[in-house]
Structure 1
Amino acid sequence: MKPPDAAQPKTDAPQPIQPVAAPGDVLQVERHDFVDLVPEGRKRVQSMQGFDPVYTDIVDYIVRCTHRIWDERDVGLIYSHYTHNCVVYTAAKTMYDREEVVRDTIERLVTLPERRGMATQVIWSGDDRRGFYTSHLVTGSGRHSQHGSYGPPTGRTFVSRTIADCMVHKNRIYREWIVADAMAIVKQLGLDPQALAEKAARARLDKGLLAVDIGENRRMVGQYPPESEAILDIAATDLERHTLQWLHEVWNRRMFGRIKDVYAPTVMYHGPLMAELTGIAAVMHQTIGLMGSVPDASFEPQHICSTPCAEGGTKVAVRWVMEGHHLGHGLLADLGEPTGKRLQIMGISHFHYRDGRIVDEWRVYDQLALLTQIKLAQMADQREAPAT
């Protein structure tokens, strides 16, 4: 049976945070030009108590403030748009205060000053009283024209995808998860990912950071098989519950055949390294390929939200973590031969459901960060090895 595109939660379930405005009133990115997304003189269509007057709804807020900070170079807006003790998680590092976010932003602007981050879509939930959650897919493009973290300028152009999930209250972001496809940029610039990953790993090692293998990931307990049912506590609608259930079946129970039941035959897959693929076989290959590199991995959804879409149907955002060991060959060819080292993959996926099937998936994770994890673990082994 096909799931409804937007079902109401059960009455006995915890009540989710619901948008104040009707979905049609809040801006949607997909069909609008940029000037329509940051309009002048638009009346506020959503309760935004505590937000700057310029913002008319939560989508306007996340698109406009991103543009003001990154494209207009008003980096100082970070002081009024992030809390002093904000935590920003990335695949490469975690930042624990606002001043570090300012420094990191300046460094990125220096390295890639011609980059433009174009909003592709924003999936959101919440309200101004309890807080908003936004999942913002950005397509970035530009040219490597300056010396910086990527080394001397190559003059080459690039395009890559990033998804940023933000928790926002009264105009300030207090937690953020950024998943950027750095490997896509590195490949297009013609740089050596091995050397860049080794440099990043060395910097971590010098700070005393070591890769720690925590053992089994609890996907299975002892010799028992994985649980047949997913944990659905984070879901607010039937469609979100349906999404968590089939993700559990595919990723944790390894029932890859389930993909043909939830994806449309004409599905478009937008993946890491700017992969643009079509069809169920492509999605299945990309999924099994990732699992092939980390065959013992657990898949743990950490947040899910959904928004009705003007294109028809509903878009769903899922932030997830995979934990396992580099035990096999798969899509992550840049990792080299299996090393056995522990890997943690932070990813975010956006799904577009229409008529009960997924017609588009955007999947973002950072292969360069995984290579850095392996390099760090190997360096730690060398440091701990007894001298001969």
Structure 2
Amino acid sequence: MSSQNKSVSMAGPATADPQSDDSRAVLQVERRDFTQLVPENRPRVQRMRGFDECYTDIVDYIVRCTHRIWDERDVGLIYTHYTHNCVAYTTLGTMYDRETHIRDTIQRLVEMPDRRGMAQQVIWRGNDVDGFYTSHMTHGMGRHTEFGAMGKPTGRTFVTRTVAECMILENKIYKEWIVRDNMAQLVQLGIEPHAYAQAIAQAKFARGEEVFELSENRRLLGQYPPEAEADVSIAHTDTEAQLLRWLHHIYNKRLFGKIREIYASNCQWHGPLMRELLGPAAVLQQTMRLVALMPDCAFVPQHVCSVVSEEGGEKIALRWTLDGHHFGYGPLGAPTGYKLSVMGVTHFHIIDGKIVDEWVVYDELSMLVQLKLAALQAAK
């Protein structure tokens, strides 16, 4: 089915009042098949001033345009869906212009020609006057059949998780954060991570890129303990504020026992390397596993938004960073003491005051690249 429908019946022209939109009418991903997410004859249920006629709400927009660009191979739609100076922050580097987006997309499509990105969730906030923010989680799956950045094709299949967070106004994405679990893909394809990370680090080093060292990450102010209360100024709802308080206690105050209080006894945890775990004990172990790698880290929430879920409760998307140093043992090898910075996105499902599902995405490959690059800097 082509999603480039031009005969969709639309509501009247948008007005400047963003408050009359009914967010409950906006599509949710989890319970719908693909054809329901990119409908052919659905009336526009949300004002979309400046958006192409085929988009009926913001979830339809982000799912449909991603499909058109990546699955239908209409890469040139990036010209009408991204600003010329769109900045995209990824775990392995930053893209500063639209042409780089296009080149990167073509290269990825050629290397993994049967790759498909399956939308799993879209959590969003905003309107067509102030702009929209979307947090779009996908499962990318396919087979490595062509030469490319990963070298000789292995013929192996893979599935990996990605979250793309976009700021959008009048049909164009003008800022994007892409968190892709590249390490999961490498492992499944049988590519040795250290050698691959070393090659990326050497290319960055040759371009003059450096790991920027900070002596203070502000988790501890002087000789004081971590701040007693979380900064909840970015929250829009009481549930978002409560989540920020919980995470501050867990990550910054190191009160890991809090996990037993706030996670449901039957919670599910979906993490990097496509790990699928059950129960608060597993969540506690995986949380401590990350902090143990960089035990001086500071957890800083960057953006939060939420939607009321058709499945009950609320779903919340949180983009965050961890900054610290590689002082601990773990999958990256023996401690090096080098600076580490992690960008991640987590989707939470909260029902009756308990976290019942958590999808956390960050990239261990990007962490390994940082360590290799720091070692090259130290040796020069």
TM range (shorter): over 0.9
- Report how many aligned residue pairs link the two structures: 364
Please state if 1:34 is matched with 2:34. yes
Q: For residues 311 and 319 of structure 1, what CA distance do their matches in structure 2 show?
A: 22
**Aligned counterpart, 1:14:** none
**Alpha-carbon shift at residue 138 of structure 1 (Å):** 0.3
- Equivalent residue number for residue 341 of structure 2: 344
Measure, in 2, the Cα distance between the counterparts of 1:372 and 1:19: 45
**Distance (whole Å) between structure 1 residues aligned to residue 158 and residue 265 of structure 2:** 30
Q: Secondary structure at the match of 1:24?
A: helix
Instruction: State the SS of the aligned residue for 1:139.
Output: strand
Root-mean-square deviation (CA, aligned residues, Å) is 1.1
Aligned runs of 1:134-173 on 2, under 5 Å?
134-173=134-173
Residues 131 and 224 (structure 1 numbering): CA distance in 2 closer, same or farther, change over 3 Å? same
In the aligned structure 1, how far is the partner of 2:198 from the partner of 2:26?
Answer: 45
Return the offset for 1:356.
Answer: 1.4
Q: For each residue in 1:73-114, what CA deviation from the matched residue of structure 2 results, as whole angstroms up to 9, or x when unmatched? A: 000000000001100000101000101111111111111111
Determine helix, strand or coil for the equivalent of 1:56: coil
Contact 1:19 1:126 in 2 (8 A): no
Contact 1:20–1:47 (CA under 8 A) maintained in structure 2: no
Match of residue 294 from structure 1 = 294
Amino acid at match of 2:346: S
Given that 2:135 and 2:163 are in contact with CA atoms closer than 8 Å, whether structure 1 keeps it comes out as: yes
Match of 1:12 in 2: none
1:364 & 1:301 partners in 2: Cα distance?
Answer: 14
Q: Within 1, Cα distance between the matches of 2:301 and 2:293? A: 19
Q: Which ranges of structure 1 fall in alignment gaps of 5 or more residues?
A: 1-16, 384-388
Q: Distance in 2 between matches of 1:260 and 1:249?
A: 13
> SS at 2:150's partner residue?
coil
Which residue does 2:7 correspond to in 1? none
Once the 2 structures are TM-superposed, how far is the Cα of residue 262 of structure 1 from its aligned partner? 1.1
The one-letter code sitting in structure 2 at the alignment partner of 1:365 is Y
- Is contact 2:194-2:368 (8 Å) kept? yes
Deviation at 1:24?
A: 2.4
Letter paired with 1:234: I
Contact between 1:117 and 1:139, CA under 8 Å: does it hold in 2?
yes
- The 2-side partners of 1:342 and 1:130 are apart by 37
State the Cα distance separating 1:22 from its structure 2 match: 2.1
Tell me which amino acid in the other structure corresponds to 1:114.
Answer: D
Q: Tell me the distance in 2 between the aligned counterparts of 1:179 and 1:240.
A: 21
Could you say which residue in structure 2 is the equivalent of 1:374?
371
Q: Provide the rounded CA distance (Å) in 1 between the counterparts of 2:237 and 2:105.
A: 36
> By how many angstroms is 1:23 displaced?
2.9
**2:66 aligned partner:** 66
Counterpart amino acid of 2:369?
T
The one-character-per-residue Cα deviations of 1:134-192 (angstroms, maximum 9, x if unpaired) are 00010111000100001000000000000010000000000000000000000000001
1-structure distance, mates of 2:311, 2:348: 13
Name the CA distance, whole Å, in 1 between partners of 2:238 and 2:19: 17
* Partner secondary structure for residue 256 of structure 1: coil
Partners of 2:183 and 2:349 lie apart in 1 by 25
User: Contact 1:324–1:343 at 8 Å: present in 2 too?
Assistant: yes
The match for 1:10 is none
> 2:18–2:129: 8 Å Cα contact kept in structure 1?
no
Task: Answer yes or no: is 1:364 the counterpart of 2:361.
Answer: yes
Q: Is the 8 A contact 2:18 2:128 kept in 1?
A: no
* 1:316 lines up with 2:316 in the alignment: yes
Question: Offset at 1:210?
Answer: 1.4
Paired amino acid for 1:192: E
Higher relative contact order (CA 8 A, sep 6+): 1
Amino acid at match of 2:341: Q
Unaligned runs of at least 5 residues, structure 2: 1-16
Aligned to 1:233: 233
Q: Which residue of 2 aligns with 1:198?
A: 198
Contact 1:319/1:348, CA 8 A, preserved across alignment? yes
Structure 1 match to 2:109: 109
Report the AA paired with residue 171 of structure 2: N
Match of 1:9 in 2: none
Mapped to 2, the partners of 1:115 and 1:129 lie a distance apart of 35
Q: Which residue of 2 aligns with 1:176?
A: 176
* % identical equivalent positions: 58
Tell me which moved more, 210-219 or 149-158: 210-219
Q: Amino acid of the residue matched to residue 357 of structure 2?
A: D
Answer yes or no: is the 8 Å Cα contact 1:95–1:101 preserved in 2.
yes
Between the aligned partners of 2:310 and 2:19, the Cα distance in structure 1 is: 16
Provide the TM-score with structure 2 as the length reference: 0.95
Could you tell me whether the CA contact under 8 Å between 1:19 and 1:125 is conserved in 2? no
1:260 maps to 260
> Deviations along 1:328-383, whole A, 9 cap, x unmatched?
113xx1x1100000000000000001121111000000000000000000001111
- For residue 209 of structure 1, report the CA deviation from its aligned partner: 0.8
